[in-house]
Amino acid sequence: MPTAPADSEYGTTLVPTVTPFSDGSVDAEAVADLSEFVLSNGADGLIPCGTTGEFASLSLDEYETVVSASVDAADGAPVLPGAGHTSVAGTLERIDIAADCGADAVLVVLPYFHGENGAGGNERFVRAVLAETELPLILYNIPSCVGQTIDADLIEAVADHPDLAGMKDTSGDLTHLLEIVRRTGEDFHLFQGWDSQLVPAISMGATGGINAVTNYFPGMMAETIDAAANDLDRARDLQLDHIAPLFNASLEFGFAPTTKTILVERGVIDDDAVRPPLVELDDDQKAAVRDVLDATRGVAAE
């Protein structure tokens, strides 16, 4: 029998929320509505301004608006904004804003333009942020966007730092995630960000998930995480028959556009607008997503 997911002050089911727009601007009211929807239907906490939240398309003022609206709507639930940037100074600037807004921790990526040109460069970056941060850090491994991986040696080197809380792994490499599980202790919170590998990750010791699908089916994702520790037959069915097809649609059409399309379909937000270089789904793509969504209706708890 698998062990239960590790205890975490941040919860196990966290949502990398989209950033709703209206008439070209951030819609703070829609940010609050989405936050309240996911938290009242099974999610434990919020991750605004991540990849699905189009963080790289937001100004600093907009970043503050999204984080502040999320914290207010969370009403005490954990809020862990993304604080990704290409420099130590830019990362710390976002951490300061998140701290001022009342966030609980932040997600930090490696620089996504200049990669390390020699051994130790990434560790130097992480330690420089850790030396000045006002909030606990969760490292965010997403090599498809950043162009480099947060490897197990780096995690092992910095894992005992008091301000490093854990990592989100969106590599899609389950072997890599399990190596991080093996090399870190119970206090290191490891979240699976590759939705179609959620169940195997939880069953092998990951803390929880930070998954785009949770934006529109928070109850189903919370049930899946619980089932991965207590009822593998149920967890397998949810993973293979429902989460995987939804995740695959997002891989094909883009996470923010697909997620916003489904949220509009479900009546959670009113506008599926995304910012360049992203584009909204066309009618054929929306029909394809709707077919996948229809197969999950009635199965997913709200």
Task: Answer whether residue 249 shows pLDDT above 80.
Answer: yes
Query: Looking at residue 186, what is its pLDDT?
Result: 85
Q: Among all residues, which ones are annotated catalytic?
A: 140, 168
CA distance 29 to 31: 5
pLDDT band, very low/low/confident/very high, at 185 (cuts 50, 70, 90): confident
Burial class (CB in 10 A: 0-12, 13-18, 19+), 29: middle
CA distance 239 to 236: 5
Residue 3 lies in a domain: no
Beta-strand ranges (E) seen in the chain are: 13-15, 21-22, 25-26, 45-46, 106-108, 137-141, 164-169, 189-192, 208-210
Range of 140's domain? 13-294
CA 159 to chain centre: 20
> How do residues 255-267 score in pLDDT, each as one tens digit?
999 999 999 999 9
> How do residues 160-179 score in pLDDT, each as one tens digit?
999 999 999 999 999 999 99
Residue 4 lies in a domain: no
pLDDT band, very low/low/confident/very high, at 298 (cuts 50, 70, 90): low
Task: Answer whether residue 2 shows pLDDT above 60.
Answer: no
Please indicate if the annotation marks 175 as binding a ligand.
Answer: no
The two three-digit tokens of residue 134, written as one number: 């006002």
Query: Looking at residue 118, what is its pLDDT?
Result: 87
Query: Looking at residue 119, what is its pLDDT?
Result: 87
pLDDT band, very low/low/confident/very high, at 1 (cuts 50, 70, 90): very low
Q: Are the beta carbons of 13 and 220 closer than 8 angstroms?
A: no
Name, in order, each residue with C-beta under 8 angstroms of 231's C-beta and a sequence gap of 6 or more. Answer: none
> How do residues 229-244 score in pLDDT, each as one tens digit?
899 999 999 999 999 9
Helix %, strand %, coil % for the chain, to 5?
50, 10, 40
Residue 33 lies in a domain: yes
Domain count within the chain = 1
> How do residues 130-160 score in pLDDT, each as one tens digit?
999 999 999 999 999 999 999 999 999 999 9
Query: Looking at residue 104, what is its pLDDT?
Result: 98
Instruction: Please give the average per-residue pLDDT across 26-42, as a whole number.
Output: 98
The CA-atom distances, in angstroms, between 94 and each of 10, 163, 201 are 20, 16, 30
CATH number for 223: 3.20.20.70
Please indicate if the annotation marks 97 as binding a ligand.
Answer: no
CA distance 42 to 216: 11
Residue 250 lies in a domain: yes
Residue 302 lies in a domain: no
Instruction: Please give the average per-residue pLDDT across 39-62, as a whole number.
Output: 98
Average pLDDT in the chain: 95
Residue 245 lies in a domain: yes
Residue 226 lies in a domain: yes
